[in-house]
Amino acid sequence: MLWECPVFAVFPGDEVFLRMRLRWFDVACDQNGTALVEFTFVLPVVLFLLLGMLQFGIIFYNYVLVTRAAVIGARTLSISRLDLHAYTDVESTITQATSNIPSSSLTITMSVNGTACSSNSGCQAALQNAHNAFAVPPQPVSVTVSYSCSSTSIVPAYLINLTGICPLRTTMQAAVE
C-alpha cells in the first residue's frame, strides 16, 4: 500500500472536530471508483490511437491496391498493340484489380510515349506507332491511377487531416512490346 490513512490522537473537547477530520480522511482513503476515473481519462486516448492505426491500415491497403492496379494496367497496355479495345481492356483490368475500391472514385490516365490516349482507336494507333518506331530503348507507356480516399475515413474529419495523404496516386511505366 502506497499511502496509509493517518491515525489521530483524541484530545478532550475535540470529538466533533475529530469526527469531521476522520470522515474527511475516510473519504480520502476510500479508493472505490479510482479505476473508473482513471479509465475515463485513458479511454479516449486509447480509442483515438486504435482508430488511427485502423485508419492507417485502410489507407495503406488502398495504396497497395492502387499501386498494383497501376502495375497491371501498365503491363496490359504495353502488350495491347494488336488489341482493338486496348483502352477499355486496360480500364476493366484496373477496375478488377481494385475490386474493393469503388470505381467511381478512381481516375485512370493512360499515355503512350507522352501522348495521352483516351479511346480505343487512339490507344491502338499510338501503340502501333510506338512499336513500329523500333526505338532503342523502347518507347514507354504510362498508366496513372488516382483514388480519392475521402470515403474510407473512419475517423471524423475534424480529428484527422488526410490532405497530404489523399488522393492516392501512382504512375507506372512499361515498354511497348
Give the per-residue pLDDT at 177.
86
Q: Report the relative pairing of strands 168-175 and 140-147 from DSSP bridges.
A: antiparallel
Instruction: Annotate 62-110 with DSSP letters as a single string.
Output: HHHHHHHHHHHHHHHHHT-TT-TTHHHHHHHHHHHHTTTS-GGGEEEEE
Residue 109, classified by CB atoms within 10 Å of its CB into exposed (0-12), middle (13-18) or buried (19+), is middle
Average pLDDT value for residue range 70-88: 92
> What is the pTM assigned to this prediction?
0.74
Asked if residue 76 is part of any domain, the answer here is: yes
Number of domains in the chain: 1
Asked if residue 37 is part of any domain, the answer here is: yes
Residue 140: domain span:
32-175
Asked if residue 3 is part of any domain, the answer here is: no
Asked if residue 135 is part of any domain, the answer here is: yes
**Could you read off the pLDDT of 18-33 as tens digits, one per residue?**
666 666 666 666 677 7
Asked if residue 27 is part of any domain, the answer here is: no
Give the per-residue pLDDT at 166.
81
